[in-house]
Structure 1
Amino acid sequence: MASIVIWIIAFIMILGVFQVDTSALLATLGVASLGLGFAIQNIIRDYLQGFCIVMEDWYRIGDWVTIAGMEGEVEKISPRRTVIREINGTMHVIPNSQIPFASNQTRDWARINLYVTVAYKEDISHVYQIIDSVCLELKNDPDFGKHLTSTPAAMRVSNLGDHGVDICIRGYTEPGEQWGLTGELRKRIKNRFAQEEIEIPWPHAKIYFGNTPEIDKISDS
């Protein structure tokens, strides 16, 4: 850029030496420099925001983030742009100036946050015991337990819904392992509930067609 500017100035000075009218050329260069200034302004914003993102360590390559309304894995970080890839494989190239904030789901630690619904007729204390037993089995599993930093447990009744009682289960995991562990815990709870005959409710609907009209019986004469 500096070389281009120097050559342009030198060219105009040479034209002046040969007494060539450069007023029209200078006006054109003024308009062009104004447009170039607006374009460079956005580029400078990208670089400044990129510098802040890197220095403040918002996210790193391999992190699962939500930025600029897009969610995916960070594939590349440069001073001007961030590249993320969605779970379906779509790649998004986002200028850093368009990233006002970032939500990082795989930094330092993660958490299982699972809600299980049981029927109103069930004994909640017994359900708590079953859930905690399944969570302990998951923690003691050599394949899954090594990614758990605490043993999940039934925390509370989170809601009395229209169809059942919602129970909240929470536990801490290594970063990025929360999704697989949540799925495995959900599967094991479903199987144990089937063994213990604990009902997992689903929405029911009753349909009324109004009062059934009485049919006059005509007696045979």
Structure 2
Amino acid sequence: MEVMTGWVYQTGWKVFVTVGICLGTFMMIRRFAPLAIRGTVKRQMKHKRKVEREKRVKTLVRLITTTSGIGLGILAAFLVSQQVGINMTAPLVGFGVFGIAIGFGAQYLIRDIIAGFFIYLENQYNVGDVIRVGNIAGGVEEISLRRTILRDLDGARHVIPNGEIRIVSNLTQEWSRAHLNISVAYKEDLDRVMALMRKTWEEMTEDTNWGSFIISKTPWLLRVNEFGNSGITIKMVGETHPIKQWDVMGEYRRRIKRVFDEEGIEIPWPHVKLYYGESMPPTR
């Protein structure tokens, strides 16, 4: 008991103070970092939409709290080891030699961290965005300096090292675009069809349930796009708020199908017309 009491008076209180300071610093960072980051992002992105600012804040808060937690944990372990009499010089020297040995193997790790730094710096994407990397597309669940985690529509969780990301497509940054190709039969009056398509879009913008998702009050692109094998394809494009384009396209397809049915407009399906050439003269 006397030994324990002596240790507490001589060394233990230093350990408790060190751990307390590091833990308190971490708690303060968790408490005040979101406020500071939110204010900074609001000033720097004042012309951006609120949803974009919130995604940026969420991403930066997670980065700073995680990085500071790891750094303070390492610092606390180093200081405590010195206070309890553990000589860290020899292990550090040994680790330095070992580090040289594995340095070549750490090249990929360093590459991932550098790539992650530029992802944050350039605001390429944030948590909550939907991105495409190569042939993988999904929502961004988590970003760190080393890797990005995506969740696709099937629920699969993809872990992608940042150094492997060469080209990334952000499908939901600032605004999105509903892009529809709708086919009608060759016999239909295209001016009438396009007028109905425009009217259906404009009615959606006035709908209380859907208007808040749509930016373009009328399609900014509506044209004949292709003469297909079975019908004529009409392309229609309109802008929506981020990540709402798929909902808007699904609802628009439902509505335009109903309008076409009511107006007697045929939606083509694949079919083949056989032609045998000129008819042969009747044989006698």
Select the structure that is richer in helix: 2
Structure 1 residue ranges without an equivalent (≥5)? 12-28, 209-221
Mapped to 1, the partners of 2:134 and 2:259 lie a distance apart of 41
- Secondary structure in 1 aligned to 2:103? helix
Q: CA deviation at 1:151?
A: 2.4
Match of 1:21 in 2: none
Tell me if structure 2 keeps the 8 A contact 1:152–1:172.
Answer: no
**Which of 175, 187, 192 matches 2:259?**
192
Larger RCO (alpha carbons 8 Å, 6+ apart): 1
Does the alignment pair 1:49 with 2:119?
no
User: Residue 35 of structure 1: CA displacement?
Assistant: 4.2
Q: Deviation string for 1:124-173 (max 9, x for gaps)? A: 11111111111111111000011111124361100011111111111110
Structure 2 CA distance for partners of 1:126 and 1:67, relative to 1, 3 Å: same
Note the C-alpha offset of 1:39. 2.0
Change (3 A) 1:152 1:183: farther
User: In the TM superposition, what whole-angstrom CA distance separates every residue of 1:49-70 from its partner, at most 9, and x where no partner exists?
Assistant: 1101100001000000112432
TM-score normalised to the size of structure 1?
0.78
- Evaluate the alpha carbon distance shift between residue 5 and residue 56 of structure 1 in structure 2; reply closer, same or farther with a 3 A threshold: farther
RMSD after superposition: 2.5
Question: Which ranges of structure 2 fall in alignment gaps of 5 or more residues?
Answer: 1-73, 79-86, 276-284
Inter-partner Cα distance in structure 2 for 1:185 and 1:93: 34
Question: Separation in 2 of the partners of 1:7 and 1:95?
Answer: 33
Q: Percent of counterpart pairs with the same letter?
A: 39
Secondary structure of the equivalent of 1:139? helix
| 1:136 aligned residue (202, 206, 216) | 202
Question: Does 1:60 find its partner at 2:126?
Answer: yes
Cα distance between partner residues in 1 of 2:157 and 2:245: 23
Look up the SS of the partner of 1:137 in the other structure. Answer: helix
- Return the alpha-carbon distance in structure 2 between the equivalents of residues 133 and 186 of structure 1: 13
Hey, what's the Cα distance between the residues in 2 that align with 1:9 and 1:78? 27
Q: Distance in 2 between matches of 1:10 and 1:133?
A: 74
> CA 1:145–1:68 in 2, change beyond 3 Å: closer, same or farther?
same
- Structure 2 residue aligned with 1:216: none
Show structure 1 runs of 4+ deviating over 4 A: 8-11, 32-35
1:138-153 to structure 2, matched below 5 A, reads 138-153=204-219
Partner of 1:165: 232
Q: Give the direction of change, closer, same or farther, for the CA distance of 1:194–1:68 in structure 2 (3 Å limit).
A: closer
Task: Please point out which of 158, 173, 176 is paired with 2:243.
Answer: 176
Distance 1:9 1:131, change over 3 A: closer
SS in 2 for 1:157: strand
Q: Which moved more, 1:55-64 or 1:77-86?
A: 77-86
Given the superposition, is the C-alpha separation of residues 100 and 138 from structure 1 closer, same or farther in structure 2, using an over 3 Å criterion? same
Counterpart CA distance in 2 for 1:202 and 1:5 is 75
Match of 2:181 in 1: 115
Q: How far 1:102 sits from its partner (Å)?
A: 1.1
**Larger relative strand fraction:** 1
Q: Secondary structure at the match of 1:83?
A: strand
Quote the Cα distance in structure 2 between the aligned partners of 1:128 and 1:101.
Answer: 36
2-structure distance, mates of 1:168, 1:196: 20
TM-superposed deviation, 1:194: 0.3
State the shift of 1:83 in Å. Answer: 1.0
Residues 1:177 and 1:6: Cα distance change in structure 2 (over 3 Å): same
The one-letter code matched in structure 2 to 1:120 is: Y
TM-score of the aligned structures, taking structure 2 as reference length: 0.61
Larger Rg: 1
